[in-house]
Amino acid sequence: MNEKRTIGFWVLIIVALFLSVIFLLGQTLAVFNYDLTVKLGLQESSEEIGSVGIAFAKGFGFADTVFYIPLILAGVIGLFKRKSWGLLSMFGALAITVYWPLVHLYTIFVERTAITLSQDTYISFIIILPLIIIYSLWGMYYLYKNKEEYLK
């Protein structure tokens, strides 16, 4: 099994690892020290999202820590090993990676009065979140088209 990896494989893996690091910093750290993640620019302040928003952010941070991050990492490891569980793990992680940006985009457009993001944050969200959705949809398509490599 000394087959060369495609550029698509490396894009899928590198972005997944980057997201894992960002989530460890922004989500896992928020569970333990929310104020620090705000200072680092990885979470929104109570002025922007309110106390209920912070409670939900911490809840998502906890869920990401115990499920989403391990799922992405299992996907990366499994894809490197060309295992079917790697394909399934990464596909599941990518499905979640479509879901959460959609939630955020909908929320910032529908609840603009409840969520008072700074102009810079708002603009960065409407640029970055669709790119994450596109990456995730592309990744699921890539995995589907290359599933035979992992289902041997």
Give pLDDT tens digits for 4-22.
899 999 999 999 999 999 9
Tokens 């060309």 belong to: 82
In a domain, 54, yes or no: yes
The pLDDT tens digits of the residues spanning 94-104 come to 999 999 999 99
**DSSP state for residue 45 in the 8-state scheme:** -
Helices (H) and strands (E) in the chain, counts: 7, 0
For the segment 109-129, the average pLDDT, to the nearest whole number, is 84
* Contact present, 65 and 32 (Cβ < 8 Å): no
In a domain, 2, yes or no: no
In a domain, 115, yes or no: yes
In a domain, 78, yes or no: yes
How many structural domains are present in the chain? Answer: 1
In a domain, 1, yes or no: no
Average pLDDT of the chain? 93
In a domain, 89, yes or no: yes
pTM for the complete prediction? 0.89
In a domain, 94, yes or no: yes
What domain range is 122 assigned to? Answer: 7-149
Q: Would the pLDDT of 72 be above 80?
A: yes
